[in-house]
């Protein structure tokens, strides 16, 4: 899809979306222009020159559609209306026009697995069992206990805690919500639903957007038996095997591609929880019948042990580099010749990269942030930067539940602390420090003025207190800053086809400290080595083949060594 034949540089088919660097804007937290404490489209437009200076090519814009904001916009009430807190369609068009004028494309975040319960489709659907919109959603009869208690159709647990089913007294049935109770799942078995989604995608493409990031696209096809899931300790059951990569998911995505996606020169990426290499090769197949690439999440779930988690992902363990490396090496090698990789350390659902994978202490934050950038951006695939990642922004330190805004955090706190007593208040906040989604949603740190230059008013979520030390104003003109290092990596990708299209060969796979690999294309090679520890380690990669220094995060490389969190790259 959207590809042209490559030159003799490589057998790889060339495509513009393989050559770009994508930047995720979380609009609530990017820039406020009207002093209400919430980011908006006019504010985003004002900051586009900053992104142009960074050098990125594509913006992935998190949802700005009309929404009651139960899940910060991922609960959509109208796909063709901009939520008033962000502005209106005129503001959107102006932002899009300005971005295009700067050479930046914009892809929309499309949530098509579910809507808000305030969407008019759902309002109609719940009116009666014979309403024309009833089959737009998943409605089922429940069960009845011996004592007469009404029970849901099965034991599935919502991602945001509690049952994945909500009883509706008016029609005496239950509707499925794999996420919040205010996010009823659409029924993709209905041809009408699939046509509605195709129509709204065409509407946005005709408006000029450059593609879509599909939220939880791997969940749109459900096992129509709706069986009980494997029981969990908390009494609920796992829904994963029955709602992810379902029996008709590829049929549905191919239909979207045939009716809409293949008819525009756009970029598409699908969020695909639980995806395997085999499934990924289908979603992002080289023939272009589905999507351009997918997000897989194995490497951001690479805990040393689950014993440190109080429940599910909620724990204080950090991912261990050898396991993260093994997983990404698997995806680099496993998709070669079949599919295209997406490259990311963090996004709106994942904590800050330097806090999770690097070292966010004052001594090592900048150098480890640069190391992580180098390690990721020189792999094969399309890199994604979360707003503020290019500054080395860190996780928040939660001192009170009052600081939390995310429906997932509040739900797990209620379940684990208040209802089941699995962990204490202090333990839960410590887990929030490590993995909570609010970590990546704190306001963009533009300067050291009040509220970090994000707003003139108190923001909807607290600014990270370290904004006076970590901000864009102090970095954009500093040649040694994290920002400038990201800018250099982006320039290299734009100027060196080997970084885009070269093959990937893992090196030093037994090392506990060093992540190394080699890229090759048409007789050219680059060697990348990254020390993931705070100790100087031996590295003999360049003993026989020194090469020419290409990029690094230390002023001076020591022969035969890698300094703490050093990234060193050579050409040749």
pLDDT at residue 26 tops 50: yes
Name the band, by pLDDT with cuts 50, 70 and 90, for residue 7: very low
What whole-number distance in Å separates Cα of residue 522 and Cα of residue 106? Answer: 32
| pLDDT confidence of residue 218 | 96
pLDDT at residue 203 tops 70: yes
**Cα 515 to chain centroid, rounded:** 23
| pLDDT confidence of residue 120 | 98
**Residue 296 three-state SS:** coil
| pLDDT confidence of residue 217 | 97
pLDDT digits (tens, 9 = 90+) for 454-469: 999 999 999 999 999 9
Burial class (CB in 10 A: 0-12, 13-18, 19+), 314: buried
pLDDT at residue 553 tops 50: yes
pLDDT at residue 97 tops 90: yes
Check if 16-114+191-396+440-488 and 120-176 are the same fold.
no
| pLDDT confidence of residue 409 | 82
What whole-number distance in Å separates Cα of residue 571 and Cα of residue 518? Answer: 10
| pLDDT confidence of residue 310 | 65
The lowest-confidence range among 83-92, 226-235, 481-490 is: 226-235
pLDDT digits (tens, 9 = 90+) for 252-273: 999 999 999 999 999 999 999 8
| pLDDT confidence of residue 451 | 97
pLDDT digits (tens, 9 = 90+) for 378-388: 999 999 999 99
pLDDT at residue 128 tops 50: yes
pLDDT at residue 240 tops 70: yes
Instruction: Tell me, yes or no, if the pTM score tops 0.85.
Output: yes
Mean of the pLDDT values across residues 96-111?
Answer: 98
Task: Point out the residues that are catalytic.
Answer: 215, 271
Write phi, then psi, for 63 (nearest 5 degrees). Answer: -55, 135
For domain 503-571, the CATH class is mainly beta
**Residue 253 three-state SS:** helix
**CATH code of the domain occupying 16-114+191-396+440-488:** 3.20.20.80
Domain boundaries, the chain: 16-114+191-396+440-488, 120-176, 503-571
Q: CB atoms < 10 A from the CB of 495, how many?
A: 8
CATH topology for 120-176 is: Oligo-1,6-glucosidase; domain 2 (3.90.400)
| pLDDT confidence of residue 6 | 33
Cβ contact 552:571 at 8 Å: no
| pLDDT confidence of residue 552 | 97
Name the band, by pLDDT with cuts 50, 70 and 90, for residue 309: low
């Amino acid at each position: 899809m959207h590809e042209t034949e490559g030159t003799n540089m490589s057998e790889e088919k060339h495509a513009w979306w393989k050559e770009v660097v994508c930047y995720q804007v979380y609009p609530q937290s990017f820039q406020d222009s009207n002093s209400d404490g919430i980011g908006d489209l006019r504010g985003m437009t004002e900051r586009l020159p900053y992104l142009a200076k960074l050098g990125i090519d594509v913006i992935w814009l998190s949802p700005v559609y009309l929404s009651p904001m139960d899940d910060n916009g991922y609960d959509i009430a109208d796909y063709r209306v901009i939520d008033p807190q962000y502005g209106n369609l005129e503001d959107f068009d102006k932002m899009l026009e300005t971005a295009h004028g700067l050479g930046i494309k914009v892809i929309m975040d499309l949530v098509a697995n579910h809507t808000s319960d305030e969407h008019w489709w759902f309002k109609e659907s719940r009116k009666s069992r014979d309403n024309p919109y009833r089959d737009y959603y998943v409605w089922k009869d429940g069960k009845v206990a011996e004592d007469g208690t009404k029970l849901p159709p099965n034991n599935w647990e919502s991602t945001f805690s509690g049952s994945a089913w909500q009883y509706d007294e008016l029609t005496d049935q239950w509707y499925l919500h794999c996420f919040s109770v205010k996010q009823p799942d659409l029924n993709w078995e209905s041809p009408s639903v699939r046509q509605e989604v195709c129509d709204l995608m065409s509407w946005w493409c005709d408006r000029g957007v450059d593609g879509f990031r599909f939220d939880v696209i791997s969940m749109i096809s459900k096992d129509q038996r709706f069986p009980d899931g494997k029981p969990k300790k908390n009494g609920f059951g796992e829904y994963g095997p029955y709602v992810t990569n379902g029996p008709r998911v590829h049929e549905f995505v191919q239909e979207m591609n045939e009716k809409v996606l293949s008819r525009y020169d756009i970029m598409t990426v699908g969020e695909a929880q639980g995806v395997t290499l085999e499934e990924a090769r289908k979603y992002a197949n080289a023939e272009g019948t589905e999507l351009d690439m997918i997000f897989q999440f194995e490497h951001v779930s690479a805990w040393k042990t689950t014993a440190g988690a109080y429940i599910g992902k909620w724990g204080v363990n950090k991912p261990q580099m050898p396991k993260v490396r093994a997983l990404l090496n698997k995806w680099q090698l496993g998709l070669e010749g079949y599919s295209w990789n997406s490259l990311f350390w963090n996004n709106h659902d994942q904590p800050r990269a330097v806090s999770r994978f690097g070292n966010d202490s004052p001594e090592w934050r900048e150098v480890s942030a640069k190391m992580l950038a180098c390690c990721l951006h020189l792999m094969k695939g399309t890199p994604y930067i979360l707003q503020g990642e290019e500054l080395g922004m860190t996780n928040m330190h939660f001192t009170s539940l009052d600081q939390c805004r995310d429906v997932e955090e509040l739900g797990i706190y209620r379940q684990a602390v208040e209802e089941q007593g699995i962990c204490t208040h202090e333990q839960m906040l410590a887990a929030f420090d490590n993995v909570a989604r609010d970590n990546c949603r704190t306001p963009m740190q533009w300067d050291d003025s009040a509220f970090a230059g994000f707003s003139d008013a108190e923001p909807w979520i607290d600014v990270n207190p370290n904004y006076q030390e970590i901000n864009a104003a102090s970095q954009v003109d500093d040649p040694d800053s994290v920002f400038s290092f990201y800018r250099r990596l982006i320039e290299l990708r734009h100027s060196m086809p080997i970084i885009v299209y070269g093959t990937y060969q893992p090196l030093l796979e037994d090392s506990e400290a060093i992540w190394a690999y080699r890229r090759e294309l048409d007789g050219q090679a680059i060697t990348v080595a990254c020390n993931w520890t705070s100790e100087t380690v031996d590295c003999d990669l360049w003993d026989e083949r020194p090469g020419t220094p290409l990029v690094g995060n230390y002023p001076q490389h020591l022969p035969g060594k890698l300094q703490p969190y050093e990234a060193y790259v050579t050409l040749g």
